[in-house]
Amino acid sequence: MATATIAETTLPRRSLSQPHPYLVEGGDCGACALGGLIGLPSPADVYALFGETRSLQWTEQRQVLCNASSRGLVDRLVDGTPLWPHAAPQFDLAWGLPGWWCQSGEWFRYVRMAMDAGYYGVATVAWDGGGPRSPVNHAVLLCGARERQELHPSVPGASSLKTEILVSCSARGGDAQWVGAHEFLRDSGGFNVLLARPARERQA
């Protein structure tokens, strides 16, 4: 099936690579994603700078970004989960309401708007991609958003729109892959994404 990119935003920073053995029990993916966003050379520097000695889950990731903002390392931070509409503890919203069913379009446009302004996303996800019955146990850095048009050769003039996000993963050495926004939310979670803009990438 032929495809054409309609619009794309790709940011330069990537997650740091996951060290082996882990520096802290439970893994260093949260520190790797945050270190890549903030611009620190290793996850050890994240732990040292922010005084953390444990694996960084959603609540700790949020606190690190708040601390980074107060230190001038991050000049913009959006740590509230967008709800259309609902009220629940934000740390428990990795799967949205559910995000893949009725909110993937709104979520993608929200994240794309942030990336257009230079924000990165830190998302807590299910590593095995097994959907909402799987635990959220991994953190990734979101660093791009794009729309692609897929043309259907069997129906002249027919096409569909594909929305994708660029996901950088510490377990893959920081490599980034394009993933469908709908599929990302359905399989991995990450709806309650934390959005932050590094100070050195401040927009004019």
pLDDT tens for each residue of 93-127: 777 777 777 788 889 999 999 999 999 999 999 99
What mean pLDDT is reported for the chain? 89
The whole-angstrom separation of Cα 39 and Cα 48 is 14
For residue 204, pLDDT beyond 60: no
Q: What is the DSSP-derived secondary structure letter of residue 138?
A: E
- Residue with the two structure tokens 């990734």: 140
DSSP 16-28: PPPPSS-SSTT-S
What pLDDT does 174 receive?
Answer: 94
> Taking the model in full, what pTM does it have?
0.88
Which amino acid is located at 76 in the chain? R
What pLDDT does 84 receive?
Answer: 67
Q: List the chain domain ranges.
A: 3-195
For residue 86, pLDDT beyond 70: no
Does the domain formed by 3-195 have CATH 3.30.160? no
